[in-house]
Each structure stands twice: as structure tokens, then as C-alpha cells.
Structure 1
Amino acid sequence: MHAQRDVVRSVDIQRGWQANMQVCGADQLWRQLRCEGADVARCMVERLMRKAGL
């Protein structure tokens, strides 16, 4: 279950990072995802960004 959620959130993070010209950090992406209605923790965004090498 967690792996499926991570895959979905990783796609959201990649999309958000690309939309912000690849210059935003975890805090900005976290706020953006929250505004879009995603129930995601900041630490999850940080972990998935690190895993993706962003």
C-alpha cells in the first residue's frame, strides 16, 4: 500500500518540479500539492525528492 502511494506521489512531485522550472524545493512542492488537495506530509515530499535525485 505504501509503495503504491509513493509511486502516485512521485509522479505528482515530478510534475510539480517540472512545472516550476526545476528550481523549487520540498517546502514549495509540499505547499503546491496541499493546495491541489493532496494529503501528503512534507517529510514524504522530501524523501521522495531525495529518492528521485531532485
Structure 2
Amino acid sequence: MADKTIVCKDCGKEFVFSEGEQEFYKEKGFENDPVRCPDCRRKRKAQRNNSRM
């Protein structure tokens, strides 16, 4: 398995989905690669957490 370069669907920046991250996703049973970069994932998670309060 090699590192993958993916384009974030929110900001359009490229990010690397490393071999280690791919293994982690596989262990967790995730079937799809991420579609957002780590920064956008953090922002989205923070927005979801704030809307629940």
C-alpha cells in the first residue's frame, strides 16, 4: 500500500493519505477514503459539536 494524494472536497487543497492512516482506516472498518483534509475534518467536527449544545 502506498501513500495517496487526495483533493479535499471542501477547500480544494491536496493532502496525503498516508500508508499508516490507510491501515488505521482498514482496522476501523472504514470502507471509503477521506474526502476532506485534516484541517477541514477538524473544522467540520467542531461545527457539529457546537450545534449539539
Question: TM-score, length-normalised on structure 2?
Answer: 0.26
Higher strand proportion? 2
Question: TM-score, length-normalised on structure 1?
Answer: 0.25
Q: Which has the higher contact order (CA 8 A, sep 6+)?
A: 1
Looking at CA atoms only, which structure, 1 or 2, has the larger radius of gyration?
2
